Amino acid sequence: MRMGSVLRLSGLLFGFAFLYVPIALVILYSFNESRLVTVWGGFSTRWYGELLANEQLLDSVVMSLHVALSSALLATVLGTAAAVSLARRKRFTGRLAFSSMIFAPLVMPEVITGLSLLLLFVALDVPRGFWTIVIAHATLGMCFVTVLVHARLQGLDRSLEEAAMDLGASPLRTLFSVTLPLALPSICAGYALAFTLSLDDFVLASFTSGPGSTTLPMRIYSQMRLGVTPQINAISTLMMGGVAIVLLAAWFIERRKTAAR
């Protein structure tokens, strides 16, 4: 084997180890009998049982899921509408300012975005809680949805939409019958990305949350300040298992569709 191939293989293995060894350790130590997360005390599932009895942590999981589902839906609707406006209306008053405001949160630090939203909610005297977190997460997720859907619309064959309108379809019907179905893969990808960003976010939620609206990242951070417990490893393992199940299901469905064609 040539030296170049050895170096490339070594770099590849190092990269995979850097990414996945910490994840494997989290999974392994979630089955640790010892309360100390860095000391192996034997195989046990006790921390999963204690996790199910931890109402505060479970409430945070439910809150994060509700926020992620709601904010991802709002971000997908607004982001898709923005993408259609940018892709199908080449010239309109304020296009430059509109596109700048859409893409600005992508490069702006989340601390600045969170602080700005906090000041806005305080100025409007809006009580901070579930809906303020949803608005904050949707503000960020909408930008990613817009980028994905806009790229898809730019690559679509406009002759299909023109043929629909030539056959008598109104612009609105063409949008819902031709444009959006063709862009559906990117819309679904945008929803999944917005959902993941919301579920993972800590900075925006910490600025816009209120009493009774603690998300899972905030709960984990508050517990880690007092010391990492194996329950955190257990909840992380369950979340990774859920993601793996979703990915396997998507792969299986796509494989069946490919075989059917």
Query: How wide is the angle at C-alpha 163 spanned by C-alphas 157 and 167, nearest 5°?
Result: 160
Measured distance CA(165)–CA(153) in Å, rounded: 17
* Chunked mean pLDDT (size 10), the chain, 261 residues: 74 88 86 79 83 85 92 94 85 80 86 92 90 93 92 84 83 86 90 91 90 86 75 85 83 80 69
Q: Which domains does the chain have, with CATH numbers?
A: 54-231 (1.10.3720.10)
Helix (H, G, I), strand (E, B) or coil at 164: helix
Phi-psi map region of 94: left, alpha, beta (phi>0 left; psi -120 to 50 alpha): left
- The pLDDT score that the predictor gives to residue 1 is 55
Measured distance CA(87)–CA(125) in Å, rounded: 37
Name the burial class of residue 148, with classes exposed (0-12), middle (13-18) and buried (19+) by CB atoms within 10 angstroms of its CB: buried
> In this structure, what token pair is assigned to residue 208?
């816009």
- The pLDDT score that the predictor gives to residue 156 is 82
Q: Residue 191 corresponds to which amino acid?
A: Y
Q: Residue 226 corresponds to which amino acid?
A: L
